[in-house]
Each structure stands twice: as C-alpha cells, then as structure tokens.
Amino acid sequence: MNSLLFSLVLLGVFSLLNMYISKRLISRLSISSKYKNYFRKFLYLNLFGIFLYALGRYYLEFPNWLYFLFSLPVGVLFLLFCTAILYDVFHLLLSFTPVQEERRKFFKRSLDIGAVATAVALTARSIYEARTVILEDKEIKIKNLDHQYKILQLSDIHIGGLIDADFIQGIVQRVNACKPDLVVITGDLHKQGSRYTRRI
C-alpha cells in the first residue's frame, strides 16, 4: 500500500472514530450545548492535527517539536475512542440498573466526570511514558548452547519529536553500561522522513 492510499485510509478511519466519539460520548454528556460545541470543535482541530501528522510522516519535513505536537492528536483520538466505548458500556448497564431517578442522575453525572477525567489522565500518562525507558531482564535457556550470551534488544524508539539526540545519547550510555555481546534494534527506529534517518 503506497503512502498516499495509506494516509487516505488512515484519515477515513480517524474521521469515523471522530463521529463515534461525537455521537456516543459528547452528545450524552450532562453539559450545556455550548460546551458540547467546544468539545466538537476540539475534535475537528484534533483531526486536522492528525492530517498534519500524516503530512509530516510521509511528505513534509517538520521540526521535531512540531512533529511531536502533530503526533499527539493520534493518541488523543484513540484514548477518547476507548473512553467512548467504556462510556457506552457503563451507560447501557446503568440504563438496566433498577435505582431511583435521582440516584440514576447522580451515577450519570459521575460517569460523565469519570469519562472526561479518564481521557485526560490517560493522555497525560501516555505523553510521560513516551520518554520513559523500561529495562527488562529476561533469562532464556537454550539447550546445548555452549556459551552464555547477553543480547540487548531495543524496540520502538521512534526517533523524532520527543525523542531527540540527547535522549538517544542517554539510551546509548545505558546500553554500553550493560556490556551486551549483541545489540538488536527491532520495531520502529525513526519516523519516516526524519532528518535523523540520514545520520544512522
């Protein structure tokens, strides 16, 4: 699949997710129409950010900080979609729960607040973890292996955006401190079109 077709499919899917969030989450929130419109405008702005992200990934060269800014809407939309699905499930369960109307309204307001708070908290956590390196130590026993080897695997580094040269230098220092016999890099190493590509 070429990059143009992939970008169109990606934007089409994200547009459908946008519609789902708008109809199944925002429309049901117990807030005024004015604030619902603000939320919808935010969704449109977020979708435009995804469009710019696709341009930066395949066609244009953005500064790292700008590319990172445009990559955020992808995660935001995904987290809002997951929140909308959970909201749908809990809303369905609440509709079948035999409780008094006042208590039902209280649960509904609590669900609304919880849905928005969850989306914000997960987005903030995702941004934080983007620069968190987790080192896991695994021992794998292979029958008839004559020598013990230390293999270090790096995965999903995604150079570009938050992941700049200083951050990579820190990873290199940690790798060297482990003194591995072999280093393998799997997953995504860099964003397509990044100027780092020409340095590696």
Cβ atoms < 10 Å from Cβ of 31: 14
Q: pTM of the prediction?
A: 0.67
User: What mean pLDDT, rounded, does the chain reach?
Assistant: 82
Q: Residue 198 pLDDT more than 60? A: no
User: What would the pLDDT profile of 79-126 be if each residue is shown by its tens digit?
Assistant: 889 889 989 898 888 888 787 878 878 888 888 888 878 878 877 777
Q: How far is 16 from 84, CA to CA, in rounded Å?
A: 13
pLDDT for 197 beyond 60: no
Q: How far apart are CA 43 and CA 21, in angstroms?
A: 9
Tell me the residue type at 131.
Answer: R
Query: Would you state the pLDDT for residue 147?
Result: 87
pLDDT number for residue 160: 65
- pLDDT value, residue 106: 84
Confidence bin at 44 (pLDDT 50/70/90): very high
Give per-residue pLDDT as tens, 157-166.
777 666 777 8
Q: For residues 43 and 51, is the Cβ–Cβ distance under 8 A?
A: no
pLDDT, residue 194, reads 46
* pLDDT the model gives residue 196: 44
Q: How confident is the model at residue 190 (pLDDT cuts 50, 70, 90)?
A: low
Which pLDDT score is estimated for 47? 93
